[in-house]
Amino acid sequence: MSAHSLLANSFLRPRSSCRLSCQVRHLATPSKSSFRETLVSGPSLDDFISGEPIEHVVLGNTKGPRLPNFLKTKIPSGASFNKIKKDLRGLGLHTVCEEARCPNIGDCWGGKEGATAEEGKRAATATIMLMGDTCTRGCRFCSVKTSRTPPPLDPHEPENTAEAISRWGLGYIVLTSVDRDDLVDGGAHHFAETIMKIKQKAPQILVEALTGDFAGNLENVSLVAKSGLDVYAHNVETVEELTPFVRDRRATFRQSLKVLEHAKKEGVRITKTSIMLGVGETEEQVMDALRELRRINVDVVTFGQYMRPTKRHMKVDRYVEPSEFDRWKQIADDMGFSYVASGPLVRSSYKAGEYFIENMLKGKATENRVKNLVTQEASTSHTQTT
């Protein structure tokens, strides 16, 4: 083929493809005449003025369950809320409250109603998210950004976070993180270093760590558990039977149980987990999950309603009535959990739990001090006797 022919073909091809795409685009566009017919066949101005009932148009998804009133929350506002939001921006910190679109953000950040700004800040609860805002996993309920190759860790984050929290004036802080399966240790050293630096700068602050499962590596669990934290939290999220359909395929119910059990063996005073309701679970499945959690001595459990963050996420199976949440609280209390927070808007780090856990930790610390004094006195008496 001559160079002239090749050149001619190169010019002809785009034109033919353009003509084809233009034709397809034209065919997909409704004609003006059909649009006019639709308008003419619809209700007229006289129909609206007459006051007689006409056929109405229903907007939105009519197949799924409607959002009940008890799940509708107010737009976040208030002095404490605005102050915390401003502080976070200035300190460059990420919160799961914002990234996961938590419905309780106004409630938790709002602090005490009628309190001063300082009192409100002390009463508020914010969950700081470490290691960036991009997760390597894609759970079907979570709206946090995902990527197989998230940005590298900020080596200054532990120091900066500790400094910011120590100056913030909170009495109880929750640290969590995205899953970082791209890192050899899953980010365990980074997590542990942040906790240790917080305790060095402000030992009076109680620290709860809400971790991932570190891909089942219990050495990494030990690293975080021994970092000086006060509460080790890891969420099972749902019942065992639904775990493959709700969580990322790399997470399993049994793996989560091993994480919580190992943290307890490492000497953590309080272990904590959370279960979402409304994803298709049965009563017996929830009971089985609670039995497994008690078997490994989990201290705190929370129940909350699953809320679909966007249309790209799994659908809500049903909206659980507040009375059912009350019933699960009673059941879990009767099973021996130290504390249960249960309600439609309760989340893993909901502030109602922190008040009790804070007192619980202080109570355990006092109890340990008394035990140590008794042991010392007994040892002294024994020495004097001999």
- DSSP annotation string for 178-201: ---TTSTTTTHHHHHHHHHHHHHH
pLDDT-based confidence at residue 365 (cuts at 50, 70, 90): low
- Helix 283-295 × helix 322-335 angle, to 10°: 30
- The predicted-structure confidence for 264-277, as pLDDT tens digits, reads as follows 999 999 999 999 99
Q: Other CB atoms closer than 10 Å to residue 252's CB: what's the count?
A: 17
pLDDT score, position 22: 46
pTM confidence score: 0.72
Query: Which comes out higher in pLDDT, residue 90 or 106?
Result: 90
pLDDT score, position 184: 94
pLDDT score, position 120: 55
- The predicted-structure confidence for 108-145, as pLDDT tens digits, reads as follows 665 555 555 555 555 556 678 899 888 899 888 887 88
Identify the weakest region by mean pLDDT among 43-52, 254-263, 334-343, 363-372. Answer: 363-372
The beta strand positions in the chain, using DSSP E, are 94-95, 127-130, 134-135, 145-146, 172-177, 206-210, 231-233, 270-277, 300-305, 339-342
- The predicted-structure confidence for 208-233, as pLDDT tens digits, reads as follows 999 999 999 999 999 999 999 999 99
- The predicted-structure confidence for 35-45, as pLDDT tens digits, reads as follows 677 767 776 76
**Highest mean predicted confidence (pLDDT) among 15-19, 116-120, 147-151, 364-368:** 147-151
